[in-house]
Chains A and B, each alone.
Chain A
Amino acid sequence: MAVTKTYEEINEKIRRGEAVVVTAEEIIDIVQEEGVAMATKKVDVITTGTFGPMCSSGAFLNFGHSEPPIRMAKIWLNDVPAYGGLAAVDTYIGATEPSETVGMAYGGAHVIEDLISGKTIKLEAESYGTDCYPRKELLTYINKDTINEAYLFNPRNAYQNYAVAVNSSARILYTYMGTLLPRLGNATYSTSSQLSPLINDPYYRTIGIGTRVFIGGAPGYVAWNGTQFNSNQVRGDNGVPLSSAGTLALIGNLKEMSPDFIRAATFHNYGTTMFVGVGVPIPVLDEDILQKAAISDKDIYTSIYDYSIPSRSRPVLGRVSYAELRSGKIEINGKTVRTAPVASYSKARKIAETLKGWIQQGDFYLQQPIEGFSTEQSVKPLEIVAEGEI
């Protein structure tokens, strides 16, 4: 009889301190040595991790009311504009918003990292003044302890897979995939592959709305599917998409996060973004789930795109496995090209290990998704049309 387990059974084991938790790297060897059936019986949870630049990140903040109060219409945090279109003293600060004084050297992501680190942030606001909120200007200083809510809400994180970027042109390119040297001088890639959350659960059997996750060093939740959710992407025989596919919208308490797992970044000539650490536990409910989570780099493929073509449909120059990418060089059109990651594999490992520790110590329980994701959703392009043409 094939083994099956429920969330309740696994959580009960966690409560008793008996759950067997391994990382998505460790499960590879276990399955090789003991086979899928034995491993399914033995292992209860597999932890994953990823730490890469995720532009679609930001934080909701509530500042509390000043005396006299203000309905903040324009808001700046350390000279970085934050959104003023929410209620009186709420805002959303986006990771990619640049500072009005120093440009892309400091952006929303840096504000968020500084907040997490406990640093003081300058808050400026303007308003037109209302009967109930008469104040028109405000300049003060805050930190994460002086304000009310502060939570990260990232609409698109933890891409299931991602493209490899190269540059066939004659000039150097500065992109969100890093610096691309001319004439296929290098190739960059950006997932933690065999450790990556959605690669280990390719059909979203355990990752859906409500799944409890690790985000930025704190517990958080999957709030929704991420934007540009493209689960209908072409998949390999093992179910893993061959390029960017599923994404997650994530939420977590910024006040509990750590700069070890959230790091502001600036991509030269591109802009600011944020490295976000995400880890998702995968409960071993049956053999299929375990088998898919035991995937290794040699069986995960992605597509190479030429970023020198300024079009949304860039030509695919080939397919490579993460084992090849992580070996340091790949071959493209007969040419040997050096590879470099953009996301940190050592941090991804630390995240999977940290999450494993939390579960082993009974500090983190698994949450069954309230609703699953579609495997048939695709991404629409934006067509430029005249009003009558739509």
Chain B
Amino acid sequence: MDFATLAPFLVGVIISGLVLGFVYAIIALGYTMVYGVLQLINFAHSEVFVTGAVVGFEIFRVLADNPMNGYLKLLIALIAAMAASGGLNVLIERLAYRPLRNAPRLVPLITAIGVSLILQDLIRIIEGFQGRFDLTYQLPQGFSTPFCGPESSCVSVGNFLSKIGISLQIKEVVMVLVALLSLAALNYLVNFTKLGRAIRAVAQDRVTAGLMGIDANGIISLTFLIGGALGGVSGVLFGLKFGTVNAYSGFDPGIIAFTAAVLGGIGSIPGAVLGGLVLGVIQNLIGVTNILGDALGIANLGVIDSSYQRIGGFLVLVLILIFKPTGLLGRSNVEKV
């Protein structure tokens, strides 16, 4: 295989990896937000995210025959999913984590796994009552069309991409835009507003922040609300990208996004995004290792097919943790005594 065919192929693999990475990145933000404030790994986040995906599915289903603009439908789906997932996350915090806030670290972790299992079965029961298991997104017309495909005559980046053999769909472009927008909004909120300063203060020292007149419980609830809302956004993006979701779909992306958060340095917002993108790209590259092996004439690489793509991400995590235990962008945390 020559360079001229291999180069656009590799670029295509990296681009689809980046698109996938944005989904992971936004899920990872949900983990990292909560961890940053409470030092708690919210394992129920993967179900919070599936809830968002389910709400998105319901919105698209109800609005399927409505002639309104497709982007408006997406906006409604996003807002509804953010509200549902954010609300759910606040509820989880209030019922499952707050009563245990002063318990040893391991206790809320186990509760989190318990909440996660309960939510899985709840989602399954609720959708199962209507005879559904695999929820298939009914996307508005046009979302699945190629991004300015070869038939259209427009001169654009999309047309250029498809000329050199890289396909990108409108929904993928929309996905990346939504992801970038929510990231920018989050960054602004945390770093440039009074509220953000309060969140950072609570993250640093809950008790002292309380003495300074900050309602720590309120801020923690708010963090869960924001984290959950991000979960809702990522759920809809997930449904948009992959088309189907079921009650148990959260597990795999949840674990990967958690890995992404740790890889980037858990607690760090840019770290979560970087971790997500890195994992997305690595996964896709590992998935095509056998082709690269063939092309480069390395026979043994031929065995590494797409079934190994998950392992690749974890391998990178292990390596990073060996050489930089705080993660890519994480700062070492001085233990508070």
A binds B: no
Interface residues of A (CB under 8 A from B): none
Q: Which residues of B contact A (CB under 8 A)?
A: none
